[in-house]
């Protein structure tokens, strides 16, 4: 990661001035903003996250779901921020391993990570954690950022050239201590490489037994159709939560049409839906949420209406707010699987318990109607990065 560029951006943000970074330089830290920080939970500046309440439902995952033909637990685990949270905190590695193993003990069979997380380190943590029960779980990883396969250094932008994909996967296999990746995603669409070429490289890896299923993340509908035609996809992984519902417009219906599973990253809205953030929250330097328009002081005053609604339902269902947010996702379609991540044991148990929170059809109808009446203000960080980038993204975005 280019530390100097990152520090310049932090300084500019902390001083309340417009960043002097060029658009190419901004994209150079996209690996942090999009691939290395979103969807995680930390202590917020000026306001500590409240301790998780004891789970009001059994702390064991209920049920299994299908991502294409791949069966996984109804709640997964995102191993994303276990090496470094928002570039400010370094979690205690033995505790992270204990949490992952405890998640498996409580019924989680689906663990998600990527070479970009760390980079590399979260794959190492996951690999060590699941080694005793590797054949009892489904693991994922991702390629697509321009990361040096040997050093882990972030280069500029994206890289899904077939030869780079194959080198990236070899590295992931070693770090994950396994001979195969159950589900391999392209982390972001590379506009310089036809998706058919990407599919061809993955197909080669499948023929060697190194990859069993594949998927895409944050792609548009045209790319999704083309990729699925080339080599059938098991799953799509996009941001999706009460805070960010855009996938409902095209991607989720298309997945339903094609028989593709949908995996939700950032299902708790980067801690927003847990109730840990309110209109008075201010973020510490280095916390990526401090750069997001939807978490600006002005927009938080409006957006906390969503948190109030979640808390009302939490009281009504005698559950934690995070459990309401996760249970709502699972209630939308049977092919949807959230992958909340955490570095705290209590939060993991709480997330697992969400699979026992049930909504009746009338309750879901009522809750969805209330959600539709709340318009979230401000852009999410990935869209801000794309709008500032001079690297052309696929037109379908």
Instruction: Please identify every stretch of the chain with a pLDDT value under 50, giving residue numbers as ranges.
Output: 1-57, 387-397
Per DSSP, what are the bridge partners of residue 73? 64
In this prediction, residue 71 carries a pLDDT of 98
In this prediction, residue 382 carries a pLDDT of 74
**Six-digit token string for 202:** 């993955």
Residue 117 catalytic?
yes
H/E stretch holding 185 reads: strand 181-186
Q: Is 316 exposed, middle or buried (0-12, 13-18, 19+ CB in 10 A)?
A: exposed
Instruction: Give SS3 for 89.
Output: strand
**Six-digit token string for 339:** 């992958």
In this prediction, residue 396 carries a pLDDT of 45
Check: CB of residue 239 under 8 Å from CB of residue 329.
no
In this prediction, residue 251 carries a pLDDT of 98
Check: CB of residue 286 under 8 Å from CB of residue 13.
no
CA distance 11 to 9: 5
In this prediction, residue 88 carries a pLDDT of 66
CA distance 383 to 27: 12
CA distance 380 to 311: 22
In this prediction, residue 383 carries a pLDDT of 72
The one catalytic residue in 86, 92, 117, 240 is: 117
Q: Give the CA count within 13 Å in the CB-facing half-sphere of 322.
A: 32
pTM: 0.84
Cα–Cα separations (whole angstroms), residue 53 to 46, 49, 274: 21, 12, 11
CA distance 90 to 341: 15
In this prediction, residue 237 carries a pLDDT of 98
Give 310-319's long-range contacts (Cβ < 8 A, gap of 24+).
Answer: 310/242, 310/273, 310/275, 311/275, 313/367, 314/275, 317/357, 317/359, 318/56, 319/56, 319/57, 319/353, 319/354, 319/357
In this prediction, residue 204 carries a pLDDT of 98
Per DSSP, what are the bridge partners of residue 78? 112
In this prediction, residue 156 carries a pLDDT of 86
Q: What would the pLDDT profile of 321-358 be if each residue is shown by its tens digit? A: 999 999 999 999 999 999 999 999 999 999 999 999 99
């Amino acid at each position: 990661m280019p530390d100097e560029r990152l520090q310049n951006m932090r300084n500019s943000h902390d001083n309340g001035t417009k960043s002097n970074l060029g658009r190419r330089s901004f994209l150079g830290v996209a690996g942090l903003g999009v691939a290395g920080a979103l969807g995680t939970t930390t202590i917020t500046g000026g306001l500590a996250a409240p301790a998780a309440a004891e789970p009001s439902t059994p702390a064991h995952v209920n049920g299994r779901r299908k991502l294409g033909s791949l069966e996984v637990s109804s709640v997964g685990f995102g191993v994303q921020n276990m090496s470094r949270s928002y570039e400010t905190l370094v979690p205690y590695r033995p505790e992270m391993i204990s949490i992952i193993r405890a998640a498996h003990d409580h019924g989680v069979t689906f663990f998600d990570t990527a070479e970009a997380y760390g980079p590399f380190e979260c794959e190492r943590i996951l690999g060590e954690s699941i080694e005793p029960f590797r054949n009892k779980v489904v693991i994922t990883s991702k390629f697509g950022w321009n990361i040096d396969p040997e050093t882990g250094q972030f280069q500029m932008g994206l890289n899904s050239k077939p030869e780079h994909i194959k080198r990236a996967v070899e590295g992931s296999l070693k770090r994950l201590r396994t001979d195969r990746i159950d589900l391999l995603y392209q982390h972001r669409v590379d506009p310089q490489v036809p998706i058919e070429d990407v599919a061809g490289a993955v197909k080669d890896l499948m023929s060697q037994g190194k990859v069993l299923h594949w998927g895409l993340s944050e792609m548009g509908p045209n790319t999704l159709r083309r990729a699925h035609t080339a080599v059938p996809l098991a799953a799509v992984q996009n941001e999706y939560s009460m805070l960010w519902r855009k996938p409902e417009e095209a991607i989720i219906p298309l997945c339903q049409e094609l028989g593709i599973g949908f995996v939700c990253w950032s299902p708790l809205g980067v801690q927003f839906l847990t109730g840990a953030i309110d209109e008075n929250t201010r973020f510490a330097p280095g916390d990526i949420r401090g750069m997001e328009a939807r978490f600006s002081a002005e927009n938080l005053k409006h957006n906390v209406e969503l948190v109030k609604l979640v808390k009302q339902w939490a009281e009504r269902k005698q559950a934690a707010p995070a459990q309401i947010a996760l249970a709502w996702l699972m209630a939308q379609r049977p092919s949807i699987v959230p992958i909340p991540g955490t570095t705290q044991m209590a939060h993991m148990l709480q997330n697992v318990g969400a699979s026992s929170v049930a909504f009746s059809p009338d309750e879901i109808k009522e809750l969805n109607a209330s959600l539709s009446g709340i318009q979230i203000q401000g852009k999410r960080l990935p869209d801000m990065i794309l709008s500032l980038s001079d690297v052309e993204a696929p037109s379908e975005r």
